[in-house]
A and B are shown apart, each in its own frame.
Chain A
Amino acid sequence: MRGSFRLFYIQKKKEQQKNEQNENKNNNNSIDIQRNNRSDEQFRQIFLKSGIVSQASGSCYIEIEKTKVLCSVHGPRASHKTEEFVAAKFNCELKYTTFSSSVDKYDYTENNKEKDQSLIIREALIGSVRLEKYPKTVIDIYILVLNDDGNVMVASITAASMALADAGVEMYDMVASCSSVCTKDRILLDPSYQEESLPNTTNILVAKMPALNQVTQLVQSGDLSYNTVIEAVDLNIDGCDKIYSIMKQNLIDSLEKQLKDKDNNNNNNNMDIK
């Protein structure tokens, strides 16, 4: 095959033509996006499940409606290099599957976007882990984005934090995060892919350890006035607390389940001996 072409949706083209006609009528080209079944500050349904990768020390799978992310944690395991003695080395790697987006194309090798996002996630999480407890070891976090429908960063940070908890790594607190898209006059929490890719908008991501009331990551790109920034940061911080309560509940549930399973196993073993 000799190169591939860019494909466009015929529906979009028709829409565009319609929009152009409308624009000619009234020069009103403000971006307007309708959320069908939720308000601007409402989250989509979140589904969390930890401990699903049998070969990893800890793992977590998260679904924010169509956004699907899997994270596994290896470690703390022995470091090959004897670089750092005092504290554990902390690595984080995010990868998109080649089919995770119908618009963006991803390769098998790591591209710039993935590198950037890996760094942001690492920065968000590193403050929560008690690295000094694990000298001469490495903790590796691997994140795989299966389906991208917006808010991938939040899903990744949440999943990674849950996976760390699942691996039994000592932490000060779990990191909850929340992101939003700011258009001219609206702040949309938990944006979908469509909302994230609107032109002239700004993304804000906040990651926080609620129990310590500390913000571990704050990223914004794009122009915003001071008041909007403050408002958006406040909203996101509240959003973090909401995500945190979901994470906490889930962690308790999965622990209870683990204990139950263990009990059952023990009972079975006892019966075997009898």
Chain B
Amino acid sequence: MQKISNTEIYFIENGINSNLRADGRSRNDYRHFSLETGEIIHASGSARLKISDTEVLVGVKAEIKEIKNAQSNNDKQQEDLKRFIFTVDCCQSASSEFTEQKRLDQYNIELAKQLERLYSHPSVVDVDKYLTIVPGKFYWNLCIDAMVLDSDGNLLDALSIAIRAALYNTVLPKIKVITSEYQEITFEVSEDPEDVISLKDAIENVPIFITLNQIGSQSSFIIDSTLQEELCINSKLCIGINQKSMICSIQKSSGMEGLEPQTIIQMIKSAKQIGVQIISTMDKALKLNP
């Protein structure tokens, strides 16, 4: 596990208190990031995001899911309702933080859980419109595999942005449903590779995470933290924002300390502004380079 000395903490905290961070950014500045889509040819959709040294690669695989018995027990039903399945895999080489396998596993699960929670609300993607093949029977399931190749902090935000881009890039083959005489349903996949459905419009409401880290004095918080800064976090708030500047999810996580109510309100406010900005820049860029 990475350790940080008290003097370093002092340096970072004081820098943040006076609104100047080690790399020259102010508290609310995001690092430059680059986004590429369609990197993995065999995936239904993919994206690679680089923020400074943080690099994540996301692949989307579409599967047909059959819902067999509508009268099974409740837990299974919830399982059936999940259209997005997340797996996050942080490469051990990505950070010295990840050397311990047990901690790494736990961290992977935690990230996947948080993403899953963000996508769990029915308003995120119109399932009926985009992911239904036969209502009540056959659906598209999207397996979203994310790899963290290199880490310099702010993983959750990076993952959520990359996933949004990968979904934008995702195409599903057109499917013809054929019902045979014994009520058996078979599919015919269209042979024309151009004849596909794009999820471009479906991601309109898909949110991204903005993580706000409180460091130093109670009222100072930063976004897009580096690995160094993440070592002196007191508490953090992950906020999900979508294009319409709606707040889709909030969760306070991993922090021993509490936050003052005024700080929280400030945090939500800046998350809203920054989130909308990032999404609109991102959408513009994606539209220009399909």
Establish whether A and B are touching in the complex (CB under 8 Å). yes
Contacts of A233 in B (CB 8 A): 261, 264-265, 268
Contact B71 A230 (CB under 8 A): no
Known: A3-B71, A215-B260, A221-B121. A229 touches B268 (CB 8 A): yes
A225 part of interface (Cβ distance < 8 Å): yes
Taken residue by residue from 169 to 202, chain A's Cβ proximity to chain B (1 for < 8 Å, 0 otherwise) reads as: 0000000000000000000000000000000100
Q: Is the CB of A105 within 8 A of B257?
A: no
B237 at the interface (CB under 8 A from A): yes
Q: How far is the CA of A105 from the CA of B254 in the complex (A)?
A: 30
Residues of the A chain whose Cβ atoms lie less than 8 Å from the Cβ of B71: 3-6
- Given A215-B259, A219-B250, A222-B121, residue A107 in contact with residue B75 (CB < 8 A): yes
Give complex CA distance A4, B76 in Å.
14
Distance between A150 CB and nearest chain B CB, rounded to angstroms: 17
| B interface residue count range (under 10 / 10 to 19 / 20 to 34 / 35 or more) | 35 or more
- B255 CB, min distance to chain A CBs, angstroms: 7
Compute how far the CA of A173 lies from the CA of B120 in the bound complex, rounded to whole angstroms.
Answer: 34
Q: Are A217 and B252 in contact (CB under 8 A)?
A: yes
Rounded to whole angstroms, the CA-CA distance of A104 and B73 in the bound complex is 9
Chain B residues with Cβ below 8 Å from A167 are none
Q: Are A222 and B258 in contact (CB under 8 A)?
A: no
- CB-contact partner of A209 in B72, B246, B256, B258, under 8 A: B258
Cβ of A225: which chain B residues have Cβ within 8 Å of it? 245-247
Using A111-B75, A216-B252, A218-B250 as known contacts, say yes or no to A223 and B121 having CB atoms under 8 A apart: yes
Tell me the complex Cα distance, A212–B263, Å: 14
* Identity of the chain A residue whose Cβ is nearest the Cβ of B121 in the assembled complex: A222
Q: What residue of chain A has the Cβ atom nearest to residue B254's Cβ?
A: A123
Q: Does B268 contact A127, Cβ atoms closer than 8 Å?
A: no
Closest Cβ of chain B to A229, distance in Å, is 5
Cα–Cα, bound, A111→B76 (Å): 11
Chain A residue contacts of B253, Cβ below 8 A: 123
The 8 A CB mask of A208-243 against B (1 = contact, 0 = none) is 110011111111111111100110011001000000
- A267–B139 Cα distance when bound, in Å, is 73
Partner of B247, one of A116, A200, A216, A220: A220
Any B CB within 8 A of the CB of A112? yes
One of B75, B113, B121, B272 near A226 (C-beta < 8 A):
B272
A126 within 8 A of B: yes
State whether B257 touches A214 (Cβ < 8 A): yes
Residues of A62-89 at the interface with B, using a CB-CB cut-off of 8 Å, are: none
Could you tell me if B256 and A126 are in contact, using CB atoms closer than 8 angstroms? yes
Q: Within the assembled complex, what's the spacing in Å between the Cα atoms of A112 and B265?
A: 30
Max count, chain B CB within 10 A of own CB: residue among A200, A224, A229: A229
When C-beta atoms are compared, the residue in chain B nearest to A216 turns out to be: B258
Contact indicator per residue, chain B 57-76, by CB within 8 Å of chain A (1) or not (0): 00000000000000111110
Alpha-carbon distance between A233 and B259 when the two chains are bound, in angstroms: 13
- B289 touches A (CB below 8 Å): no
User: Interface size class for chain A?
Assistant: 35 or more
Complex CA–CA separation, A6 to B76 (angstroms): 13
Q: Which residues of A contact B254 (CB under 8 A)?
A: 123
A105 touches B73 (CB 8 A): yes
Closest A residue to B117 by beta carbon equals A221
Complexed CA–CA distance, A24 and B274 (Å): 44
Contact A230 B75 (CB under 8 A): no
- Chain A residue, CB-CB nearest to B249: A221
Instruction: State in angstroms the CA–CA spacing of A208 and B252 once bound together.
Output: 12
Query: Which B residues between 194 and 219 are near A, CB-CB below 8 angstroms?
Result: 205
A123 to B250, alpha carbons, bound, how many Å? 14
- Interface assignment of B248: CB less than 8 Å from any CB of chain A: yes
Q: What is the minimal beta-carbon distance from A202 to any residue of chain B, in angstroms?
A: 8
Contact with A along B103-147 (1 / 0, CB 8 A): 000000000010001001101000000000000000000000000
Chain B, residue nearest A104 (CB) = B74
**Interface: B78 (CB within 8 A):** yes
B226 within 8 A of A: no
Whether B247 and A219, one on each chain, are in contact in the complex, defined by CB atoms closer than 8 angstroms, is no
CB distance from B251 to the nearest CB of A (A): 5
- Inter-chain contacts of A234 with B (CB < 8 A): 261
A residues near B, CB below 8 A? 3-6, 103-105, 107, 111-113, 116, 123, 126-127, 200, 204, 208-209, 212-226, 229-230, 233-234, 237
* 8 A/B residue pairs, CB under 8 Å, sorted by A: A4-B73, A214-B257, A218-B251, A221-B117, A222-B248, A225-B246, A226-B272, A233-B261
